[in-house]
Each structure stands twice: as structure tokens, then as C-alpha cells.
Amino acid sequence: MSSVLEQLVNKPYEHGFRTDIETESAPKGLSEDTIRLISSKKNEPEWLLEFRLKAYRHWLTMEEPHWPNVKYPKIDFQDIIYYSAPKPKKKKSMDEVDPELLRTFEKLGVPMNERAALAGVAVDVIFDSVSVATTYKEKLAKVGIIFCSISEAVRDHPDLVRKYLGSVVPPGDNYYAALNSAVFTDGSFVFIPKGVKCPMELSTYFRINTENSGQFERTLIVAEEDASVSYLEGCTAPKFDTNQLHAAVVELVALDRADIKYSTVQNWYAGDENGLGGIYNFVTKRGLCKGVSSKISWTQVETGSAITWKYPSCILLGDNSIGEFYSVALTNHHQQADTGTKMVHLGKNTRSTIISKGISAGQSNNSYRGLVKIGAKAAGARNYSQCDSMLIGSKSGANTFPYIQVNNPTATVEHEATTSKIGEDQLFYFRQRGIGTEEAVSMIINGFCKEVFQQLPMEFAVEATKLLGLKLEGSVG
Amino acid sequence: MKNEKGPELLDVRALTAKVAGVPILKGIDLPVRAGEIHAIMGPNGSGKSTFAKVLAGHPAYEVTGGTVRFQGHDLLTMEPEDRARAGIFLGFQYPVEIPGVSNSAFLRLAYNTVQGARGKDELDPLEFDDFIREKMKLLDIDPAFLDRSVNEGFSGGEKKRNEILQLAVLEPKLAILDETDSGLDIDALRVVAGGVNSMLKPDNAFVLVTHYQRLLNYIIPDYVHVMEGGRIIKTGGKELALELESRGYDWVVDEYRAGEQEKGYVGASAA
């Protein structure tokens, strides 16, 4: 493919800067002592320390997974700082938030105070593992919604956290989930009580800042009977040379007729043109449709990270429950992504939809890996999967690994897959109509991703469109 | 042929080009004035489509010699999008499909880009909708076209109609239609021809690349050029097309070869 394509793909990361804020860090390395330190720093109750230690001891017995279609040097888990927090000053209002931190968000194009107010979005800012500002909390509290950092939740709503933490992703679920369970420092907690429709989109901006500090976020969202919520997670990270491990766990619980929509736009540092640096994003995201007719919908736009290893999943336990997965994964340069979903149908007449769009440019490798499992009792279960791949240039790769297990004869499972390529003739067609290459690529890509973008909340869809354009700028030609 | 001559739009001189290392165009001369319709005919593989693509700036074709001036500017140094903005339009022989991009969004972006480059006002989506529906009515094109993805799942005839719609929207100075008539049924052919005839103005021109005379029953050209082996070997009026229809291309080729031989003989004896 010609040079414009390459230029477009080769645009340097724009958010490559770091903020100087004094941080308080634990020494490098992982041991029971590290875990006790984290737990005591956070004044945690005994049960949570036990939860962590149990997870840690289990982790010690586990092996790093090697089945994903990604390659990376061995991670030295003793070379990671497991706890770092901005010096604890009391933060009460946005005015008291460290101005340097606010400037960071400005640079990222997230003028959060105005944005939050204007867009009606409550932003729970996560800055190096500790939430420093939460807006709209009071307004939400009026309708009984809890939206806070998980540390605050542990302090203020211990029974809720204890009841649901680890109930969807058990501490020993997988290597990185076990690690997260042992050392997670912060994250978000959302609780929507019975019958409440959350009046606004809830939003968190993540940002990894301290060099060598692994981020172990823990997010727990519970929607009780007839409740509904839409949660947005968006991320960018500054540029560093050493790889940063990110192993988050997200758990969603939907009770009878509850509806949870979880949207992610991810743009972490992906490494330079030679694949150096960049985030390792090994995430466990899982939702449990526990109640009848409940619904969990994952929408993700993955554009960053050196390596992405992520399968937002739905366990469809309640009869008539619905699981959805809409994904755009874009890889460029030497990025590697092995991502997809798992839909596990356990209840009767459960339904799931999977729409996955993979875009690979440069020398990147983009794999879709999905499991559709229909249990023996899931009579009448239905799944529809569509996995489309688009290649830009001739050095990128795309793979699809669909796994289908059907144990009930009344189930219907459909799978469709396509692979296409942005060709010179397509681009020439646009250019002959006066439309420049970059706009053409952005239009083709957005067309390709339309079914997924339609699922995103409005502001997010605009951001996602811009982001894909940026990521591919200079890559096509 | 018309008597009053419009200003010169296009001036092609000794143009040579190759694709994938193989020379295709071997010295083309073609002047086009405003208000004219030119038909370029010739057997398959004679270089007609290559010539059309070279004029539009297709990156797969490498110009190896000659000059092309368009409204006084050096066309060959311009990017394809700049040529389009300056008023060159290529109606594709095989229009590509662009899944997920709606025809209306595509047309509006193209229209506004070209309008912007020409220093004219852009239209917002509502204004554009009025504008495009008017154009579609004139061309007898189903409004459902707008909501479909560009050319995706279109029949051959629909694709060609869509090319004519784009032509009508972009209002180029020079429209090159590459075998727009091929694969069309008689109704579609009438739409295409009607579109071209209604769009011809004293300040623009058309170059029709075609294999068959059929289109020229509906669009009367001022000049007919016969292309063979990467050269224009004969130029005549509209009656040449009819003669080609009844006699084929061989006699033109023979005539040309005889002429070349004679030149070679004359040249040799003079030396």
C-alpha cells in the first residue's frame, strides 16, 4: 500500500506527556507484605485483606496464560510498583483539585469541570489509582444511587461490596484476575437500587501516570431489580519507554429486569513505531445477568495499548436475559490485540448478539476470539455473531477464532465473518470526487464501524470517531 | 462540428504512460474546447480506459512523458483530489462499493469539498437534501438511493446512474465518462444520455470513452477519435462512429499502418 496509508497510521501519540505531582509509592515488588501495606494504607476491613491474601496465594499457584495470539517479553512482577497515590490532601470541591492535574486533563481535551456540567456527565476521575474528585455524587445520592471510588464504597457500604465483590469474577478466575484481586488499589463502585433509572451517564476517565506503576483497577456495578444504568469508561495515558501492566477487573451484576450498558473508549499508549513501550492491557470484564429478563451490553472501542487481552463477557443466568457485545478494535504499528467476548447461555430463551469489527494497520496483529456456549438447560437460546476484519496495508494481520459449544438442541447459533481491505481503488474513488485521503479513510472506517458506534452514547460516538481518525492519520495512501 | 469555438479546456500533448512497467499510452494528443463532446472509441486494450484514469491521476499509472494542461494549469503535477476540485470528473467503468458509507453522506462531503475549493457556499444537510432531491428528480433516480451505502449491492445500471448523479452534483468543467454505457439496458442508457445532454453547457465539455456506437445515438459528439495501441490513430466527426459501427475497426488500423509506412518511406528517401 502506498505511502499516505503509512503516514496516516504512523501518527505519533499526542498525549505523550507526564504530570509532575508528588506521589506516594510503595517499594517495587509483590509479597504478602506489599498486600498488607496496601490494605492498611487504605484502612481496609479484615475480610478484604483476607480476600486479597487468598487471591495472592492462589495466584502463586497459577501460570501466566500462553494461549492468546500475542507475544511479549516475560513480565517481572517483582519490578512493579503496586501502590502509588497522590499525596493525600483533603479534596472537597473541584476548586481544590490539584491544578496540575486539571491541566493534564486539559491537555487530554477533558476540561472535566465544564465538560461534566455541560454534558450532564458525572465524572469519577481516577488518577493513578486513587479517585481525587467526584462530581454529581449528591445529586445521584438523592435517588439512592451510589457512585464512588471502590475504596470509599468499602468504607461506607461494606456490606454491599462484600456481597458482590468477586461474585462474578472469582479471585481465582484467571491469572490476571487473581493478581488484581490481590493488589487492586482503586476503581469505581456503582449501585443502582430497585426500580431506579440512573438519570445521567456515569463516566470515568482513567489515566496511568507513574512510571512502572501497574494499574489494578477494580470496578463493580450492581443494578437491582428494574434498575438501569449506562456507564462510560475512557482512557488515555502518557508516553513511557517501559511497558506498563494494566490488569483491571470489571464486574457487573444485573438483577431481575435490570439493564446495564457499559461503554469503553480506550486509547492507552501503544508503544512507538517500533513497538517499544506501550501498555499491556490484560483485563477481565464480565457481567452476570442474574435476574430474569435482565440485560448487559458491552460496547468497546479499543485503539491503544501495546497488547490487549480482553474478553468482556456475559453470563446469561436469568431466563430471557440478554447479552450484547459491540466492539471496534484498531491496531497499528506493532500493536497486538486478542480480544472478543464470551456469551454463556444458562437460562431459557436467553439471547446474545456479538458484533466485532477489527481494523489492522501497520505491522499489527488483530485477533477476535469468542466463545458462545449454550448450556443444557438453555432451551430456546439464540446467538448471532458477526465478525468483520479490515486490513490496511499489506503487513497487518487479522484472525478470527470463534468457539461454539451447543449443549441444547433447541438453540440457534449464527456466525458470520468477513475480511476486507481498504484498497487503492476505493481511495481513488473518493479522491476523484474531491475528498482527500484522510477524510476518505475516516469515512470508510466509520462506515465499517457504524453498527458499533451507533451503540455508543452520543458524545462518546463523536469522540470515538475522532479518535479513530487520529489513530489512522498518515497511515493510508 | 461546431463553428464557434469555446475557450480551450484541456490540451494533451505527446502523453505517454505505463502501468506496472508496461507502456500503454504511446503519445496521445488531444485538444478539448469548452462546449465540445468528444468520443474516444477503439478496440479492447487500446488504452482508452488508461487514458481516462491518467487524466484523473490514478496512482497506479505512471506518466512517462508529454504534457497535459487543464485550463492553463499543469494537470500532471496535481493530486487526484485537486484535479477533481479543479473540475475534472471521471465516471468510472467499474464504480467501487463502499460499505457503511451512505450515498447522501458521500455526495454531500464530495459536493461541499468541491464547492469549498471553488470558493462557493457549502450546504448544510437539510439544504443539501433539497438540492440532491431536485437533481434526482431531473435524472429520474429513486430517492431511496440516498440511504443506501455507496454502490453496495447496486446493479450495474444503478451504479452507472449513481455516477451520473455524482456528475450532476459536482458540475465539473470536464467530464470523462469511461464506458458509462457498457452493461446498461435501454432505459438506463436513456437516463445517462439525457443527463449528459442536459448538463452540456458552453463552459464545459465531455469526453466519452466507449466501445460501442450505441451511446452516440443519444449523445451527438463533435469529434470521434479512434484509439489503437496507445495512440489516437484517426479523428473524425459524428459520422465516423457510424462507419465504425458498420465496418469495424480493422480498416482504420490498416489505413493508419499504411500511412505510417508511407511516412517511413518518405522519411527514408528524404534522408
Q: Are A284 and A449 in contact (CB under 8 A)?
A: no
Cell (9 digits) for B36: 465540445
pLDDT value, residue A428: 94
The alpha-carbon gap from B89 to the nearest alpha carbon of chain A, in Å, equals 7
User: What is the arithmetic mean of pLDDT over B15-29?
Assistant: 95
| Alpha carbon B78 to chain centroid, angstroms | 18
The alpha-carbon gap from B147 to the nearest alpha carbon of chain A, in Å, equals 13
User: What is the arithmetic mean of pLDDT over A364-376?
Assistant: 92
How many beta-carbon contacts under 8 Å exist across A and B? 76
User: What is the arithmetic mean of pLDDT over A192-197?
Assistant: 96
> A424 at the B interface (CB within 8 A)?
yes
B109 contacts A431? CB cut-off 8 A: no
pLDDT value, residue A243: 54
Residue of B nearest to A444 (CA): B101
Q: Indicate the range of A36-45, A66-75, A255-264, B246-255 predicted with least confidence.
A: A66-75
B166 contacts A429? CB cut-off 8 A: no
Whole-angstrom CA distances from A131 to A104, A128, B231 are 15, 8, 73
Q: Is the pLDDT of residue A167 over 50?
A: yes
Alpha-carbon distance of B70 to B73, in angstroms, equals: 5
- Amino acid at the residue B19: V
B114 contacts A433? CB cut-off 8 A: yes
A447 contacts B90? CB cut-off 8 A: no
> Contacts of residue B83 in chain A, CB cutoff 8 Å?
432
Whole-angstrom CA distances from A282 to A52, A165, A247 are 19, 19, 5
pLDDT value, residue A90: 41
For chain B, strand residue ranges (E) read 8-19, 22-33, 37-41, 61-70, 73-74, 88-91, 98-102, 149-150, 174-178, 205-209, 223-228, 231-236
For A428, which of B59, B149, B170 is closest by C-beta distance? B59
Q: Is the pLDDT of residue A165 over 90?
A: yes
Q: Which CATH class is domain B8-97+172-270?
A: alpha beta
Here the ipTM equals 0.93
B90 contacts A434? CB cut-off 8 A: no
Q: Is B51 left (phi over 0), alpha (psi -120 to 50) or beta?
A: alpha
pLDDT per residue over A432-459, tens digit each? 999 998 888 888 888 888 888 888 877 6
pTM for this prediction? 0.76
Residue of B nearest to A440 (CA): B106
Specify the higher pLDDT residue, A245 or A384: A384
Give residue A123's pLDDT band: very low, low, confident or very high (50, 70, 90): low
> A421 at the B interface (CB within 8 A)?
no
Q: Indicate the range of A25-34, A389-398, B127-136 predicted with least confidence.
A: A25-34
pLDDT value, residue A395: 83
For B80, which of A426, A428, A444 is closest by C-beta distance? A428
The alpha-carbon gap from B148 to the nearest alpha carbon of chain A, in Å, equals 12
pLDDT value, residue A121: 45
User: What is the arithmetic mean of pLDDT over A337-355?
Assistant: 95
Report the alpha-carbon angle B69-B75-B76, nearest 5: 115
Alpha-carbon distance of A350 to A318, in angstroms, equals: 8
Q: Are A316 and A285 in contact (CB under 8 A)?
A: no
Q: Is the pLDDT of residue A476 over 70?
A: no
Q: At what angle do helices A175-183 and A32-41 cross, to 10 degrees?
A: 50
Q: Judging by beta carbons within 10 Å of its beta carbon (0-12, 13-18, 19+), is residue A32 exposed, middle or buried?
A: middle
Residue of A nearest to B166 (CA): A433
Which of A389, A418, A421, A429 to probe the B interface (max B CBs under 10 A)?
A429
> Contacts of residue B84 in chain A, CB cutoff 8 Å?
431-434
> Contacts of residue B80 in chain A, CB cutoff 8 Å?
428, 431-432
Which of A432, A450, A468 to probe the B interface (max B CBs under 10 A)?
A432
pLDDT per residue over A286-342, tens digit each? 999 999 999 999 999 888 778 888 999 999 999 999 999 999 998 888 888 888 999
Alpha-carbon distance of B19 to A30, in angstroms, equals: 62
Alpha-carbon distance of A328 to A342, in angstroms, equals: 16
Specify the higher pLDDT residue, A464 or A99: A464
User: What is the arithmetic mean of pLDDT over A391-398?
Assistant: 84
Give residue A144's pLDDT band: very low, low, confident or very high (50, 70, 90): very high
For A303-455, strand residue ranges (E) read 307-310, 313-316, 322-331, 336-345, 351-360, 365-374, 382-391, 397-406, 412-421
pLDDT per residue over B142-177, tens digit each? 888 898 999 999 988 889 889 999 999 999 999 999
pLDDT value, residue B267: 46
Specify the higher pLDDT residue, A394 or B95: B95
Cell (9 digits) for A398: 487479522
For B166, which of A2, A433, A447 is closest by C-beta distance? A433
The alpha-carbon gap from B96 to the nearest alpha carbon of chain A, in Å, equals 6
pLDDT value, residue B200: 92
Specify the higher pLDDT residue, B263 or B82: B82
Q: Is the pLDDT of residue B189 over 90?
A: no
User: What is the arithmetic mean of pLDDT over A7-25?
Assistant: 54
- Amino acid at the residue A98: D
The alpha-carbon gap from A336 to the nearest alpha carbon of chain B, in Å, equals 26
Q: Indicate the range of A281-295, A454-468, B115-129 predicted with least confidence.
A: A454-468
What residues of chain B have any CB closer than 8 angstroms to a CB in chain A?
Answer: 56-60, 79-81, 83-85, 89-90, 92, 95-96, 98-102, 105-106, 109-110, 113-114, 117, 149, 166, 170
B60 contacts A423? CB cut-off 8 A: no
Specify the higher pLDDT residue, B204 or A16: B204
The alpha-carbon gap from B156 to the nearest alpha carbon of chain A, in Å, equals 17
Alpha-carbon distance of A324 to A326, in angstroms, equals: 7
> A448 at the B interface (CB within 8 A)?
yes
Q: Which of A466-470, B67-71, B155-159, B238-242 has the highest mean pLDDT?
A: B67-71
* Mean pLDDT for all residues in chain B: 90
Q: Is the pLDDT of residue A268 over 80?
A: no
B109 contacts A432? CB cut-off 8 A: no
Specify the higher pLDDT residue, A85 or A187: A187
pLDDT value, residue A88: 45
* Mean pLDDT for all residues in chain A: 80
End-to-end Cα distance, chain B: 38
A432 contacts B84? CB cut-off 8 A: yes
> A431 at the B interface (CB within 8 A)?
yes
The structural domains of chain B, with segments of one domain joined by +, span: 8-97+172-270
Alpha-carbon distance of B225 to B257, in angstroms, equals: 16
